[in-house]
Chain A
């Protein structure tokens, strides 16, 4: 059973360009979460999605950031007009439905975004 997959693993963008980060959850998982980690910091929650629905986007910046989890295909985190402050590691996690017994989310390896 393959784990959570993220691609690309490393992404370099110039200021003003768009960044698209992809996440394929574990097989059978319908809940996806995106987190951002700055150097020497803990992970910060950004958005929680289920298939075709955004459940909680309280951690998403109001502008330039968007996320989707379509019926078919991976979840996408999109950052428009990137700035240097967007440089970070972006992690995706997934969990199965009915996960009410423990707080176990399965994390991908992350995408390291560098804005030059």
Chain B
């Protein structure tokens, strides 16, 4: 399984766009990139998934360059309610396989 590397923590002001970059140099041809969000004392929640280029939904955008060795999760307007840990996962597309989580990025608001 491809290993992922992402910053341990990030801070942002409310209202700003926040970008979290994840490195996955050994990504395989059939691997997808998936992001999960975990609020304190809750289970993780699926945010977005992509294979290449750009994917956008009501929560976030995911940018994947042509070489797919990294990806960037973009939250358009950070708010206090977005304070959470964000996990980047890489693996086959099926939901019927175990997920491999790293330590994630802890995103906090700057007071």
Chain A residues within CB distance 8 Å of chain B: 4, 31, 33, 35, 40-45, 48, 56, 59, 91, 93, 95-97, 99-110
Interface size on B (CB < 8 Å)?
A: 25
Q: Give CA–CA (A39, B40) in the complex, Å.
A: 11
Taking each of B44, B96, B97, B103, which has the highest tally of chain A beta carbons within 10 Å of its own beta carbon?
B96
**Cβ 8 A contact of A104, one of B42, B43, B49, B91:** B49
User: Taking the complex as formed, is B46 at the interface, i.e. its CB lies under 8 A from any CB of chain A?
Assistant: yes
Tell me the interface secondary structure of chain B in the complex.
loop
Q: Give CA–CA (A103, B44) in the complex, Å.
A: 13
Interchain nearest-CB distance for B2 vs A (Å): 13
User: Taking the complex as formed, is B13 at the interface, i.e. its CB lies under 8 A from any CB of chain A?
Assistant: no
Q: Give CA–CA (A95, B49) in the complex, Å.
A: 16
Q: Give CA–CA (A50, B49) in the complex, Å.
A: 24
B residues 1-40 in Cβ contact with A at 8 Å = 32, 34
* Pairwise interchain contact B44-A101, C-beta atoms closer than 8 A: no
User: Taking the complex as formed, is B99 at the interface, i.e. its CB lies under 8 A from any CB of chain A?
Assistant: yes
By beta carbon, the residue of chain A nearest B87 is: A42
User: Taking the complex as formed, is B81 at the interface, i.e. its CB lies under 8 A from any CB of chain A?
Assistant: no
* Pairwise interchain contact A56-B98, C-beta atoms closer than 8 A: yes
* Pairwise interchain contact B103-A93, C-beta atoms closer than 8 A: no
Q: Give CA–CA (A59, B95) in the complex, Å.
A: 18
* Pairwise interchain contact B95-A41, C-beta atoms closer than 8 A: no
Q: A residues within 8 A CB of B34?
A: 102-104
Q: Give CA–CA (A3, B45) in the complex, Å.
A: 12
Interchain nearest-CB distance for A65 vs B (Å): 16
Q: Give CA–CA (A33, B87) in the complex, Å.
A: 18
Task: Given A43-B44, A107-B44, check contact A99 B95 (CB 8 Å).
Answer: yes
Task: Given A43-B101, A44-B101, check contact A103 B94 (CB 8 Å).
Answer: yes
Q: Give CA–CA (A42, B6) in the complex, Å.
A: 12
Instruction: Apart from A100-B95, A103-B95, A109-B42, list 4 A-B contacts with CB within 8 A.
Output: A42-B101, A45-B99, A99-B94, A103-B99
* Pairwise interchain contact A31-B99, C-beta atoms closer than 8 A: no
Interchain nearest-CB distance for B58 vs A (Å): 15
Q: Give CA–CA (A44, B102) in the complex, Å.
A: 9
